[in-house]
Structure formats: structure tokens, C-alpha cells
Structure 1
Amino acid sequence: MTDTLVPPAAMPDPVQRTADARGLPVAVLVSDTAVRAHAGRAAASDASYSSCRAGRPADAGGGLMGRAPLPVDQAPVPYVTIRHGEAPQRPPVVYTTNGHGVSVGIGYADERDEDRDRRGVLWERLTANPDGAPRYRYTHARRQGECLDDLRCQVTYADADENELGVLFLLEDAWSRADIPAGWPEGVRTLHPPLSLEGAAYSVLACRHLVKGWTAVRVADPDVEFGYRGTLYRPSPDGPIPFRSAAIAYDDPRVGWLVAAAQEAVLHGCTIVDLAADLEQAGHTDLARQVAAAYPQQPRPRASVTR
């Protein structure tokens, strides 16, 4: 994420930070520590309720972020969007020990099976209320991780679209930046799950955060188990206490001391594609027409793909 996506909220007290799950706009509901400490990573430049050809819409009025081409109430509510009534819980954090009584990490005092993912990593606990009104600026952390793990669309929860070039992802456009990394978007680190074609179209049409620019990418080898972002704990005489926000690779021994707030993927084998053309080819004629009309600029060509 780039720092332009992070609201300029004051940092809370360190002990409070794990409980105060404030927002990662339009993307992942994460602890304020995790968002602010890692928001400026250029390598993680991407966007959320998303879509795919680089550029701004033909009519980009409406303020700093512009006006989305499609009213949000005319698009499906993204699966990963947090709902009213869904909120972080605050179970006591305790030590976990090995067979010799040595502390090897942290867990919850009342830990449940669903508090950890398939790799055994501890996650922030949030309530679920799928029928609540959507809070479009925030994303439910566990649903974000679920969609990345299973390569499901962050909007529709259908399987992400995949063709001979790979799985469809949407990134924040970087072409206007002076410091664009060499080889971009190869090796981009992202918090955003992939998309179906319909999910990508509705993202680019309905999300005002994407008005400033976006790029559609097919990814041949998405490493969805790369790592996590969240709050790192440390030992103290009174038990584990929040230490700092961190981006931790899955194979890092410190992952056992992390309360994860978001899962991070690395994208390998990237090819920039034309979303409208892909929609047209798949028979989504009306969505293709809307995307092409709203975003008339063509995607930047890429000479080759690194695999």
C-alpha cells in the first residue's frame, strides 16, 4: 500500500493498537500499527475494490479521488468488505509453550480453532455479521486471507479468473510515479486478493479510490503464502505485550509472536493486460463497454514476462 491510502489518524497508545482495528481504506481491515508502519512500501503498491486498465476515467471530477463511473449501490458489495456489526474482539493474549514449558509464541487464552489459519498463524479475532450494512472503506481481515489462500475473487467470492497468462490481480497504477521500480509490476507485494472478471469490472467502475489510476495484471505464479502484516508481541514479566507492527515472512521464526491482521502475497510472472478486452473475449459485453468508455486509455505494453 502507498501512504496516500492511509488516513492521517493519530497513532494510539502501543498497548491499545492491537485492539483498535482501524481501516486500510478499501482494502484490508488491519490494526492501525500494521497499516501505518507499512503503508509507504513502494514494492507493495496496489489498490483495492479494483480493476484493470491503466489510466483515469474519462470524467474524473468529484474531488481529490474523483468520482467513480458507477454508483456504488449499482455494484455488488465486495465479499471482503467489513459490515456494520463486525468488529475486532480483544481476547487476552498468553504464551504458548513447547513440551518443556518454554515459551515459543503467543495465543489467545480462550483460543478457538478458527483463530489460526491453515499454517497455524494467529489472526486478529473479528465478529461476523454478513447481513450488516457495508463499510466500504474497510475489509474483514480473515475474509481477505481466505480469498488469497484459495485464489477467490475479493468481490464475488467466485474463483478468480485465470487464463494462460495467469490469475487476474489489480494493482494501483505506478506509471505516473518518478520512482517506479525497475521491472514493475514483477515482484510486487500486495494485500489484495485476486478477482473474477466481473469483480474486476465492478471494482474499477464503482471504487472511487481507483479513479487516480490502476493496472490489471495476469500473474503466472502468485506466492500467496509469502507472509503477514500485523502486531508483533514480546515477552514481559506481566505476559506478552504488543511491541510493534511488522511485516513478517511466513518462514520467519517471529511469526509465532505475531497477531496477523492481513496476509501478503508476492506476484511473480506478471503480464499487464487489457481488462475491457478480456471482458469482451469472455462474453461480458456490457461490462466491457462500460470499462472501455470509463477508462479509454490503453494499458502500458510489456515486452516480456519474468517467470
Structure 2
Amino acid sequence: MSASTASAANPATSRLVPYITSRAGEHPDLLLSLRIQRGPDGHLQLGYWDELTEDRDLRGVLWGRCSQTIGADGLPTGRPRWRMVHPSRQRECMQQLRCQVCAHSARTRHGVIFLAGPGEARPQEAVVRTAQPPVCPRHARTAAQQCPHLGGRPTVFLVQSAPLYGVIGTPYQYSNGGLQALSAADDEALPYGHPNLRWHLASQMVRRLRAYTITTLDDLPDP
């Protein structure tokens, strides 16, 4: 994957379109594709009628399917749907610690850069969690300027340890009326291992920032 093409600008706005941004023509799968099945432990859980290995992450959590508009270069195409994140691409970048803008590795010899918007992450708290994939040094400033939730003045974390924490998603229940989606608290993440995850359809992966320093965009070290 080429960094120069992965971050191609949108001709209509001249804004850089992050790799994780949803595009026009990308649609979630239908509720009818879901079913109740027995998991490896024998307990009932949410699943797909034609479930594939890639429908679940490394911890066995089911993920919402969403179509992708991919060009000949293997990269997303189409009008960006700003503020909307594609679940599969978010999962890819978060799981593999890839830059959310260009999809290349975000690892540097000093750590991994995570950006948080106002009120999104509080460094003074004992636990800092984020659903925002990291950024590479090349695109850190661009992401800060163009991402609406960062507001141009993000908290910059230079992270040495960021283990996977859990997922944000939609809970489901099964009743006489069949499967039904339930309302969930906004951006409330369930940790891996939580028993309710068997009834969740994940849409965002979350990491816990465990060892980090707070810095600024101007003070980020060279890669």
C-alpha cells in the first residue's frame, strides 16, 4: 500500500481523506444476516448465517460487516462521509497500529502517537482509553488540523505501551420477536472478556494507553 495514494486528497475539498473515513456507497450489512448460534463454549451468541473467520477479531468478538468501495490500487474511493468511520478499516489500523490517515505503520523508535480531542482522554486519570487509531509522524499535524473531533488542539500522547482493551458496538437481544438491536450508552466500551460481548456487534476497537508521555505536535521527536 502506498502512503502517497492512501492519503489522496478529495478533489472537491482539497482535504486529506483519512484511510478510516467512511465513503459514499459503503453500507452496513442487513439485520437479516445475523442469527443466534452456539459458541465454542456451548453458550448462545450472536453470529452470521454465513460467518467467515474474518468476521471475528483475535479475541473472538463479532464485528459489523460493512461494504467497501475499493479502487484498483486497493484503497478506498468515493465521496468521504466526514465524521463517519469505517469499522473494518478502524479495526485494521487499531489492531495493527497503523496510521489512520495513510494506513502505514505508526510505530517509531520513540513510541506510537495517539491524538485525543477535548474531553476525550484525561491524562490525569489512572486509565486512558481511546478508539482513535494512531497517526504516523508525517500525518500527525494534518490529522489534528482536519479531524473535527480534535479541534486543531489535540492532546498528544507518545505511547510506549497500549494494549487492546475492548470494543464499542451495538448490543442485541433475542426475544419472541427475534433479534433486536438495543440502544447503548454513547461510546461505552466493553472490555475483552466481558460476558455481554457475545451479544455485541463491534464497530470500533479500543486500546488502553498504559505507558506514555504527554507532548505537543511541535515537540514530537523525529521518527
TM exceeding 0.5:
yes
- Aligned partners of 2:26 and 2:156: how far apart in 1? 30
1:97 corresponds to which of 29, 38, 60? 38
What stretches of structure 1 of length at least 5 have no aligned partner? 1-70, 283-307
Q: SS of 2:209's equivalent? A: strand
Given residue 137 of structure 1, which amino acid in structure 2 is its aligned partner?
Answer: R
Note the C-alpha offset of 1:198: 1.3
Q: SS of 2:142's equivalent? A: helix
In the alignment, is the contact (CA less than 8 A) between 2:104 and 2:136 conserved in 1?
A: yes
Note the C-alpha offset of 1:249: 1.1
What residue number does 1:76 align with? 16
What residue number does 2:3 align with? none
What residue number does 2:199 align with? 257
| Aligned positions, number | 203
Given residue 94 of structure 2, which amino acid in structure 1 is its aligned partner?
Answer: L
Structure with higher strand content: 2
Note the C-alpha offset of 1:181: 5.3
Note the C-alpha offset of 1:277: 3.1
- Aligned partners of 1:72 and 1:191: how far apart in 2? 28
CA RMSD in angstroms comes to 2.7
Question: TM-score of the superposition, structure 2-length normalised?
Answer: 0.79
Note the C-alpha offset of 1:274: 2.6
Q: How does 1:55-204 map to 2 (within 5 A)?
A: 73-92=13-32, 93-98=34-39, 103-129=43-69, 130-164=76-110, 166-174=111-119, 183-184=124-125, 187-204=127-144
- Aligned partners of 2:65 and 2:27: how far apart in 1? 9
Change (3 A) 1:72 1:190: farther
Given residue 80 of structure 1, which amino acid in structure 2 is its aligned partner?
Answer: I
What residue number does 2:72 align with? none
What stretches of structure 2 of length at least 5 have no aligned partner? 1-10, 70-75
Runs of 4+ in 1 over 4 A off after TM superposition: 71-75
Larger Rg: 1
Change (3 A) 1:274 1:161: farther
Note the C-alpha offset of 1:229: 1.1
In the alignment, is the contact (CA less than 8 A) between 1:91 and 1:108 conserved in 2?
A: no
Note the C-alpha offset of 1:227: 0.7
In the alignment, is the contact (CA less than 8 A) between 2:25 and 2:78 conserved in 1?
A: yes
In the alignment, is the contact (CA less than 8 A) between 2:83 and 2:148 conserved in 1?
A: no
Question: TM-score of the superposition, structure 1-length normalised?
Answer: 0.59
In the alignment, is the contact (CA less than 8 A) between 1:218 and 1:272 conserved in 2?
A: yes
- Aligned partners of 2:40 and 2:26: how far apart in 1? 36
What residue number does 2:167 align with? 228
Structure with higher helix content: 1
- Aligned partners of 1:172 and 1:84: how far apart in 2? 25
Q: SS of 1:240's equivalent? A: strand
Note the C-alpha offset of 1:209: 4.0
Which whole-Å deviations, capped at 9, do the CAs of 1:96-138 have from their partners, x for residues lacking one?
A: 11589x5421101232333222222111111100221212221
| RCO comparison, higher one (Cα < 8 Å, 6+) | 1
Q: SS of 1:235's equivalent? A: strand
